[in-house]
Amino acid sequence: MGLLTDPRAGTGKIIKLLLKWEKPLCFVLYAGGVIWLMLLALPAFNDNTYFSENALLPGLVTKESNLEQTSKQYYYELIHEMKRYPNSMPYVWLSAKFSQLHLDVFVHNFSLNYPFQKQKFVGQNIYGIVRAPRASSTEAIVVSVPYRPINSIYLDTAPSIALLLAFAKFCRKQKYWAKDIIFLVTEHEQLGMQAWLDAYHGVTSGQKEILIAGDLSGRAGSIQAAINLEFHALKVTSIDVKIEGLNGQLPNLDLFNLAQNMIAKEGIRHSFHRQFDVNYRDKLKNWWYHFNTLMSMITVQATGIPNGNHGLFHRFGIEAITLEGFKKSGKETEANFYQVGRIVESIVRSLNNLLERFHQSYFFYLLPSTDRYISIGLYMRPLVLIIASVFIKAFSIWQRLQTLSSSNETKNKQDLTNKIEEFDIGSIASKILWAHIFGILVMASPRFFILIGSKMFNLRTEDSLFISFALITILTLMWRLSLKRSVKYENISLICVIALIELGTTLMCIAMHNFSLALQTAVVYVPVILLITPHHKSVSKFRNCQYITWIVLHPFILLMIFIMGYTYLNFPTETISSLFLKGYRANKQALVFSIVDSMIYGSWFYNIVTAVMLPIWLLFWNVMRSSTIIPSQ
């Protein structure tokens, strides 16, 4: 603490050198972090995947299943039932099929009280359990499929349900299972899966009285792992392995390696984020492929939204993945359910060999391809360099304040104990406190905004929220744009120091849970923040550019721009007016979904943006719009 509080510490040669080269050093650290991250995509800077858990014994069992004909039979029967009930799940048919296989069959009822309107939705999950003949139901494996009706906007999963039933029939006849196998068909996508998991573990993951999970009439052992199936045709050309879960959590790397290895053994093309492994002779092309795959994972993980039902298992310490199979779209070679069934059998039998929970391999990693990985010990270093530049800037401003205080003491011959009088502690604390109170109020405001919008203006939920948050954004901008005043250099500098420390600490904390979100936030905000300093009225060079840039980086505006860009990438042939309309609708829906996800599933993204990033943005906006006199050094 002496280095931070003793003004004499600023006279050291190292401190003087740091103060002289602060900006170049900070930008070198930032650039070094970005370049280092880009280099991690090169094979020379990452490692080949391998199995850490030898108990899996991958690929060493003799495969016995042949599920093709049985799957086809179940598929055509299911399609007939789906046509009879186009808007709901054929509960009776599924229960009957499970019962015919002599499984322990159970129906799980759940309901959702929509948080913004007095609407109640109900759903049912069907599951059957194959009890382990060689154990006492202490452990279990889940094989799940999300049911999608014929009129669903998502790709068909009827082939997956047919495969699940065929595999259940196969498993029922085997005597080597050491774990219970739960065959689960869920309704309403991730909502049904979250309700089932909450009921299975007796918890409420989101806010109370929203998702009513209900009770389960039957249970198996402690769930060790889960495989979610999403095959969209009876013959597939490739299988994509999905791993990203809620709030950026990932399954154990061994489970991902197991799936990729078993798919490759059956001669089916395997991918990650729809990127197929290609070895280019051109080193630049090879790097670009790995970097593109790496960035696709970082982008998806940063949102904190699960890209499959598997993503909801991770919070319960259950390793889970989704296998998604795609039908033929070109000249690709097709694989039937004989091969696909052998993949599912191999994975489940390998999981059956486990003597304990996954613990050997990595839980924190990035993937530049299906057979290479970047461990946490490698990818954290670039982010640390970027965040270090923020702390160095904070330390430099603090040292300048100490130097200024020391010179004032000498000049005025005041006591060291009077130095704190140069700071208006009340004013500084109030600005910081009100910024964070404002963020918390915004985080808790959706219900109020919807109530006002529906009662006074007869607006829909998404319109009420979008208009309200647009007004909040305008108010936060106009409040400081219209109020530019001179303040003491010491006060505004201390606010800047506190904001810098808060930003750096926040990024480090987020990185411990969701590295991709912390990385993207740091890459976007840090270079602009490094240029923000308390300034004098007469200093106007590049100031307007900073204002515009910082307005663009307003959390809500930045998210709107990101969604607009994502809309363009998905609809590149649309006209500008059509793209703008689609982007506008996507922004409204994304805002509603992010709030609902935080209430139902416990997603952090909305809370982080409103309660953390918005107050930090306001503090730096306060620093930028406050004029002061630059002290002589």
What's the pLDDT tens digit per position in 358-380? 888 889 999 999 999 999 999 99
What residues does each domain of the chain span?
Answer: 54-277+287-357+365-370, 422-625
Alpha-helical segments (H) within 514-631 = 515-529, 543-552, 555-570, 576-600, 605-608, 614-625
Q: Of 128-132, 187-191, 192-196, 572-576, which gets the smallest average pLDDT?
A: 572-576
Q: What is the Cβ-side half-sphere exposure of residue 18, based on CA atoms within 13 angstroms?
A: 18
Confidence of residue 279 (pLDDT cuts 50, 70, 90): confident
Q: What does the pLDDT read at residue 209?
A: 87
Report, as an integer, the average pLDDT of 130-136: 85
Q: Of 118-132, 232-246, 255-269, 487-501, which gets the smallest average pLDDT?
A: 487-501
Q: What does the pLDDT read at residue 379?
A: 94
Task: Tell me the C-alpha distance between 214 and 200, whole Å.
Answer: 10
pLDDT higher than 70, residue 407: no
Mean residue pLDDT of the chain comes to 88
Render pLDDT for 377-398 as a digit per residue (tens, 0 to 9). Answer: 999 999 999 999 999 999 999 9
User: Of all residues in the chain, what percent carry a pLDDT higher than 90?
Assistant: 64
pLDDT higher than 80, residue 11: no
The answer for residues whose C-beta is within 8 angstroms of residue 541's C-beta and 6 or more apart is none
Report, as an integer, the average pLDDT of 525-547: 77
Report, as an integer, the average pLDDT of 547-562: 92
Q: What angle do CA 69, 74, 76 make, to 5 degrees?
A: 95
Render pLDDT for 607-624 as a digit per residue (tens, 0 to 9). Answer: 999 999 999 999 999 888
Task: Tell me the C-alpha distance between 510 and 503, whole Å.
Answer: 11
Instruction: Answer yes or no: are the C-beta atoms of 492 and 481 closer than 8 Å.
Output: no
Task: Tell me the C-alpha distance between 340 and 327, whole Å.
Answer: 13
Output the six-digit token pair for 173: 């006849």
| Burial label, 9 (beta-carbon count in 10 A; 0-12, 13-18, 19+) | middle
N-term to C-term CA, the chain: 23
With respect to CATH, is domain 54-277+287-357+365-370 assigned 3.40.630.10?
yes
Confidence of residue 1 (pLDDT cuts 50, 70, 90): very low
Q: What does the pLDDT read at residue 572?
A: 82
Phi, psi of 315 (to 5 degrees): -65, -20
Q: What does the pLDDT read at residue 482?
A: 56
User: Of all residues in the chain, what percent carry a pLDDT higher than 70?
Assistant: 92
pLDDT higher than 60, residue 328: yes
Q: What does the pLDDT read at residue 538?
A: 46
DSSP 629: P
Output the six-digit token pair for 21: 């080269």
Task: Tell me the C-alpha distance between 423 and 378, whole Å.
Answer: 42
Radius of gyration of the chain (CA): 28
Helices 489-513 and 376-412: angle between axes, nearest 10 degrees: 170
Confidence of residue 411 (pLDDT cuts 50, 70, 90): low
pLDDT higher than 60, residue 256: yes
Helices 446-456 and 461-481: angle between axes, nearest 10 degrees: 110
Confidence of residue 281 (pLDDT cuts 50, 70, 90): confident
pLDDT higher than 60, residue 412: no
Task: Tell me the C-alpha distance between 157 and 147, whole Å.
Answer: 6
Confidence of residue 64 (pLDDT cuts 50, 70, 90): confident
pLDDT higher than 60, residue 76: yes
